[in-house]
Structures are given as structure tokens and as C-alpha cells.
Amino acid sequence: MEPTHEILEEMRLLRERTPDVRGSVACTVDGLQVACDLPDEIGEQAAALAAALLAMSRRMLIMTQHGAFEETLISGTAGFVAFYAAGPTVVLTVLAGPGANVGLLRLEGRKTAAAVAAVAAHKQ
């Protein structure tokens, strides 16, 4: 199985385990889309924004000496957007609805990010 298909399978499993997840995108830290479970126009923009948010989050952690980046969660009136480190070169962005169980989202998001990181590491 090709790495992109393996990552998409992990994204599909995330949706199964977390009913309020609406979609996800995996991208490189430079903003290049690796795999997407969202409409194309949203996925490409989300990948670019994820890379920018990752850079800001990492910079904040370095400045405040709070360790390595793990995740960023954004809460909005219509739902959540969560960003997870998926190894050193990939970031996983997950969109969830307003009624999402944030604890479950964080748990399953991290699990999926670890699986994506393993696929990405195997690809290299």
C-alpha cells in the first residue's frame, strides 16, 4: 500500500473512532499536502495555514521553554480545529463539530498522529 493511502486509512479510522470528526489533512511542515480527507480547496488552504500555525506554536514553545510541539487546539463557535505533530516532518490537522468530546478528540488525534508519523518514517 502506498504511504498516502495508508495515511488516508488512518484518517478514515479516526472518523470511525470519533464521530464528530468532519475531516482531516496531513501536510509537511512546509505546508505541502500529503493526504486529505477534506474538499480539495479546503485541504490545500488548511495545509498552508497548518504549517504557519505550527511555526508559530513551535516558536512560542521555544521562547517560553515549554518543550517540543505536541498539539494546538482552536475552539470556534462552529467547532474545533486541532493540529498534532505527526513526527518531525508532518502535521495532522483535524476538524470536528461543535459537540465534539474534546478529550476523545485529543486522545484519538494523538493516536492518529502517531500512526501517520510511523507511515511517514517508513516512507523515508
For residue 118, which of 94, 93, 89, 86 has the smallest C-alpha distance?
Answer: 86
CATH at 73: 3.30.450.30
C-alpha closest to that of 72 among 56, 48, 87: 56
- Phi (first) and psi of residue 73, to 5 degrees: -120, 130
Residue 35 near residue 26 (C-beta atoms within 8 A): yes
Would you state the pLDDT for residue 1? 44
Write the pLDDT tens digit of every residue in 38-91. Answer: 887 888 899 999 999 999 999 999 999 999 999 999 999 999 999 999 999 999
What pTM did the predictor assign? 0.92
| Residues of the domain holding 101 | 3-123
What kind and span of H or E run contains 28? strand 21-28
Count of structural domains within the chain: 1
Quick: pLDDT tens for 22-37. 999 999 999 999 999 9
User: Looking at the predicted structure, is the pLDDT value of residue 5 above 80?
Assistant: yes
The owner of cell 498522529 is 113
Residues above pLDDT 90, as percent of the chain:
86
Amino acid 124: pLDDT: 61
